[in-house]
């Protein structure tokens, strides 16, 4: 089970707020991924390339914001079942995320990723990779 405690504190609070606001409009969500190690990321990157399955990410280890504790993935639950293909549910959840200050992967132009949310405080991936971020912005 993904651990929200592995996210930066501000991102954890935003994830919990997303879950709370979704529930308030009758949508239950679970967290399917939070922090990933670089090794876990590399395994995901291999899917559809050197390992069986379809491509699920374009990011190698160190190239995903999951590797820095500022990204998480969700799934809506309806009648106890994960619902991965209901675009309207993801769109409602995505709007909530945007309203609370998260970036939503469903709004991306390339490699749309509806389950994905992240908070970067305006920093680029390179800033995270090079340790050039102010951690106070994530407290």
Q: Which position has the token pair 């999951």?
A: 66
Note whether residue 45 is domain-resident.
no
Note whether residue 64 is domain-resident.
no
Q: Whose CA is closest to 69, among 132, 16, 20, 135?
A: 135
Note whether residue 56 is domain-resident.
no
Which pair of tokens denotes residue 37? 């190690």
Rounded to two decimals, what is the model's pTM?
0.95
Q: Whose CA is closest to 53, among 45, 65, 41?
A: 45
Note whether residue 39 is domain-resident.
no
Q: Where are the alpha helices (DSSP H) in the chain?
A: 9-24, 38-46, 87-99, 125-129
**What DSSP character marks residue 31?**
E
**Rounded-to-integer distance, Cα 104 and Cα 89, Å:** 14
Per-residue pLDDT band at 42 (split at 50, 70, 90): very high
Name the β-bridge partners of 78. 81
pLDDT, tens digit (0-9, with 9 covering 90-100), for 11-30: 999 999 999 999 999 999 99
Note whether residue 50 is domain-resident.
no
Show the domain range for 12: 4-34+71-138
Note whether residue 57 is domain-resident.
no
pLDDT reported for residue 14: 98
Note whether residue 80 is domain-resident.
yes
Q: Whose CA is closest to 14, among 66, 71, 88, 83?
A: 71
Name the β-bridge partners of 76. 29
Whichever domain contains 118, its CATH number is 3.30.1380.10
What average pLDDT does this structure show over 39-64? 95
- What 3-state class would DSSP assign to 47? strand
Number of domains in the chain: 1
């Amino acid at each position: 089970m993904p651990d929200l405690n592995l996210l930066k504190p501000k991102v954890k609070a935003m994830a919990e707020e997303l879950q709370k606001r979704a529930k308030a409009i009758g949508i239950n969500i679970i967290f399917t991924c939070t922090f990933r190690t670089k090794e876990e990321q590399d395994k995901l990157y291999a899917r559809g390339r050197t390992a069986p399955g379809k491509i699920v990410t374009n990011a190698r280890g160190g190239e995903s914001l999951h590797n820095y504790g500022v990204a998480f993935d969700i799934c809506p639950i309806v009648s106890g079942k994960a619902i991965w293909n209901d675009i309207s549910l993801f769109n409602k959840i995505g709007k909530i995320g945007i309203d609370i200050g998260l970036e939503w992967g469903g709004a991306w132009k390339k490699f749309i990723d509806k389950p994905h949310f992240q908070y970067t405080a305006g920093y680029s991936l390179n800033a995270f990779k090079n340790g050039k971020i102010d951690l106070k912005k994530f407290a």
